[in-house]
Amino acid sequence: MNMNKPGIRRPWVALLFAVFGAWVMVASPVARGAGLEADMVVYNGKILTADSPDPNNYSVAQAFAVYDGKFVVVGTNEAALAVAGPSTRKIDVGGRTVIPGLVESHDHIYGYAAHYFPNNRKPNEDPPLIWTSKDEALAQLKSMTLTKKPGEWINTRVRGGASAGGQSGNQNAIAVALAIQRFELTRFDLDKVTPNNPVRITNIFFSPTGDSWVNSKGLDLLLKRYPNLAGVHKDSKGVASGWLSGIADRTPDYEFYPANPPDKLGPPYLKEMEEIAAQGITTVSSRLVPDDLAAYSWLEKRGELPVRMAYTSEAVSRNANAEGTFSRLVGMQGGKGKEMWSAGSDWLWMIGVAATFSIDSIAGIGGACVRKPYPREVREFPLWLHQFYGPNGLCRLEDPNYDDANGLWLAAKYGFRSVATHAAGDKGMDQYFDLLDKIVKEYPDIAERRWTLEHCQMLHEDQIQRAKKFNIQFSCGPLFLYNGMKASSVLNGDEAAGNSMVPMRSLLDNGLRAVMELDAHGRHPFAALQVAINRKDIDGRVWGPKQAITRQEALYTYTRWSADFLLRENMIGSIEPKKLADFVVLNRDYLTIPVDEIGRIDPVLTVAGGKMTYTEPDFATSQNLPQAGYRGPRTWWLRGSPEDKNRPSGGGGDGGE
């Protein structure tokens, strides 16, 4: 056995591997005379097993054998090949590095599949409004009514004119948002062109979970069912304008729109999963609404999921009947410490509830809930001038339109784990910890339930100390600092911004678990690993160098520790006997490649549960493997390299929810 490794492990471990292999051959239910015959053996590798709780002390093996979707032998070439038979697929990786399958903790993968849908939209979505003027937009709406029967919903969204992301389009979107906020555009304007159809226009305030706008027919349907619905904005005369936030904004998605059939959502969702499998991801975690859950369940039932899905239920968040829904989900997830349960299978399981899926919005639009007021005159952030959410941003925990604080109380009351909580601003996290200080007095076991906060975009030392009290697990996105830290540096100064943006070193040194996330389409996971280690932005500037973590720690944030984050620490996250056979063969050595080139690493083989979900064409040919998985373009993946400035996703963005 090759014992070159980051820590110290004695040579007698090789003997243990051999003994275990012999035990498997005796104890396995298929050991009938001839002994175990593995389905697959991978050998001649540099296998970073992540088999120890300590990232500085794991074994580096040569080979492993897989049977029935699990690792059965991990050790020397001899030990693994000893369980090979005539039908065993033997893969000689030629000295390449092999790592556990990457476990992505926060990715809205259902949304990223949009480009695989016809016309980039789901079946129950109508074309977007290209808003160059009020008259033009109303004319487009009127045209949409011609394709609808009376009473059918029109479900559209605002998109600025000109080129996507261009200044003209941005200004058009600003003009729409200001007009709605100032009640210069109301439901009565929509009524004139949509008299027979309920209408909802989403995305009017720049945020993925932003506000929406309905006409009178849409509003009447909502208020007939919920007369006192929170989030219905009114003008100075007390007349509902059609502008919806919070609970009112979310209700049509669940209760009024026609459902998207699973067989229509499933195929595009499968294609997006195949794409991330080509990046080395074998497990992904996401919040899911019921339609999306049904689609992934449809794929699982057919045995087609190429990537495991750990999901957080959105069913309770911003819900007009939140307590009733919470009480009916009891038993889907619960428990404490290592005795937590989550309903589902090895391929699809629930990890908690989105008690609130966002305590604020994002900083780039002045929506993160921050301690210091946003400046009005900042050239880099024209939206800050308008301050749609107020001088300190959108602080949803204190906004009655959202009822998010009550959601956290109810999660505690009914024994759930609160997961997938977007937190961008420091004041928002102050409010979150203030609320937990109250909740824990009534429900003192919160620290045992592995509650989480996502993104780590603005997290100070005093907040890390508060987080320790509740044993918060953090999902962090290093690629948020890759865009140059504009928002945080303007608010907090360069040095403070560097130390508070994705402070993974401080989290680990304080005994808190930090795991890796992408939270955007087109980001390469190895670029996230690179930035966690070198702390460089797209221009090569280093931010908060004291917050850097080691290669070994970075690997654990994306494997072993992420498995714990997703309540599957005994099943995935490392290459060990009895665990599910999820692994990735790399084209370059993660441990020795220059740090600034880690983002250029690519898998040549991705396997989940013993199933090949991606094979690089040349490698597949050389090993006589099937040509499997994603074969589309990858030049636009954000990789942490100079070429990123020319990529459509270059810069990393300000962060989603």
The confidence score (pLDDT) of residue 19 equals 43
The confidence score (pLDDT) of residue 172 equals 75
d(CA 457, CA 497): 9
Reported as a pLDDT band with limits 50, 70 and 90, residue 365 is confident
Least confident span in 9-13, 219-223, 322-326, 474-478 = 9-13
Please write the tens of the pLDDT for every residue from 50-106: 999 999 999 999 999 999 999 999 999 999 999 999 999 999 999 999 999 999 999
Q: What phi, psi does 156 have (nearest 5°)?
A: -135, 180
The predicted model scores a pTM of 0.93
Least Cα distance to 290 among 334, 245, 354 occurs for 354
pLDDT at 204 exceeding the cut of 90: no
Contacts of 335 (CB under 8 A, 6+ apart): 341, 415, 449
What are the strands, taking DSSP E only, across 464-529? 473-476, 514-516
d(CA 231, CA 244): 5
Reported as a pLDDT band with limits 50, 70 and 90, residue 35 is confident
H or E, element range at 334: strand 333-334
Q: What phi, psi does 342 have (nearest 5°)?
A: -150, 120
Distances in Å between the Cα of 263 and the Cα atoms of 108, 116, 124, 295 are: 19, 14, 13, 7
Please write the tens of the pLDDT for every residue from 295-352: 999 999 999 999 999 999 999 999 999 999 999 999 999 999 989 999 999 999 999 9
Residue with tokens 């275990």: 20
The confidence score (pLDDT) of residue 653 equals 46
Identify residue 278 by its one-letter amino acid code. A
d(CA 40, CA 59): 21
In degrees, rounded to 5, the angle at the alpha carbon of residue 209 between the alpha carbons of residues 208 and 214 is 110
CB 96 within 8 A of CB 604: yes
What residues are paired with 586 via a beta bridge? 603
**C-alpha neighbours within 13 Å on the C-beta side of residue 343:** 11
H or E, element range at 214: strand 212-214
> Which burial class, exposed, middle or buried, applies to 531 when counting CB atoms under 10 A from its CB (0-12, 13-18, 19+)?
buried
Residue 336: strand, helix, or coil? coil
pLDDT at 542 exceeding the cut of 50: yes
The confidence score (pLDDT) of residue 306 equals 98
The confidence score (pLDDT) of residue 175 equals 83
Average pLDDT over residues 533-539: 96
Please write the tens of the pLDDT for every residue from 255-286: 999 899 999 999 999 999 999 999 999 999 99
Residue with tokens 């690089």: 616
d(CA 558, CA 101): 9
pLDDT at 240 exceeding the cut of 50: yes
d(CA 192, CA 190): 5
d(CA 652, CA 644): 9
Residues in the chain, overall count: 657
Identify residue 281 by its one-letter amino acid code. I
Q: What phi, psi does 37 have (nearest 5°)?
A: -115, 110
User: In 233-360, which ranges are continuous DSSP H helix?
Assistant: 246-255, 262-277, 290-301, 322-329
Least confident span in 119-128, 470-479, 552-561, 595-604 = 119-128
**C-alpha neighbours within 13 Å on the C-beta side of residue 227:** 0
Domains and CATH numbers, the chain: 12-95 (2.30.40.10), 125-255 (no CATH), 354-573+632-646 (3.20.20.140)
The confidence score (pLDDT) of residue 208 equals 56
Tokens of 560: 């072993």
Reported as a pLDDT band with limits 50, 70 and 90, residue 380 is confident
CB atoms within 10 A of CB 539: 11
The confidence score (pLDDT) of residue 8 equals 37
| The dihedral formed by the CA atoms of 324, 314, 609 and 75, expressed in degrees to the nearest 10 | -100
pLDDT at 17 exceeding the cut of 50: no
User: What's the mean per-residue pLDDT of the chain?
Assistant: 91
The confidence score (pLDDT) of residue 81 equals 98
pLDDT at 430 exceeding the cut of 90: yes
